[in-house]
Amino acid sequence: MATQNAGKAAELERLLQGIAGGVQSLAGLSGVFLPPEGDRSYAENALVKARALYAVVGVPAIGDDSGLEVDALDGAPGIRSARFAGEEAGDAENNALLLSRLRGVEPERRTARFRCVLAMVSANGDLVVEGTCEGVILHAPRGRAGFGYDPLFLPAGESRTFAELPEGEKDRLSHRGRAAAALRASIERTRA
């Protein structure tokens, strides 16, 4: 997996179990350098990461790019979700900036979605899939699990944020879980 985000790596490892003999993130590899993310598309970023990893390891490689799209902010932070508050910003800074930008926005206008694109590069070519999860942004964080914007995101039809849901429930509902399910289905179709 072409990711340096420990939270994403853990989720993807769970979600992709059984697809391959083993799944390994960049944390266990040396000499792999991912190019910086661009601002054009999630798919482009995911493919660039997967291709960079595939060029070094020579086995099927998966890249991920995902983001939070808030309707009241015209889709921001979007593709820049991890860098919303700056290149070196962490989850706390990104969440604080999001809440600041949404100050005074009524609850019914705080609709948002998480979007995830997974790209797999292998000798058989490239495969790109997407998953989304609709919800709303709360006025204050809730929960201690998850990462990123999880404490602020309440999925549609749920009473608990992503940061309050057990892993299995979050995996079933999340954008990354839906993208992983689409990837799994595509791989299984090509094997049949």
Residue 57 tokens, joined: 């390891």
Examine the residue annotation and report whether 126 is marked as an active-site residue of this protein: no
pLDDT score recorded for residue 190: 77
Instruction: List, for residues 115-168, the tens digit of each pLDDT value.
Output: 999 999 999 999 999 999 999 999 999 999 989 999 999 999 999 999 999 999
Q: Which member of 39, 64, 65, 171 is catalytic?
A: 65
Residue 91 tokens, joined: 């989850």
Tell whether the model's pLDDT for residue 20 goes beyond 80: no
The DSSP-derived string for 103-158 is TT--GGG-EEEEEEEEEEEETTEEEEEEEEEEEEE-SS---SSS-TTGGGEEETT-
Mean pLDDT of 27-33: 71
Instruction: List, for residues 47-78, the tens digit of each pLDDT value.
Output: 999 999 899 888 899 999 999 999 999 999 99
Tell whether the model's pLDDT for residue 19 goes beyond 80: no
Tell whether the model's pLDDT for residue 28 goes beyond 70: no
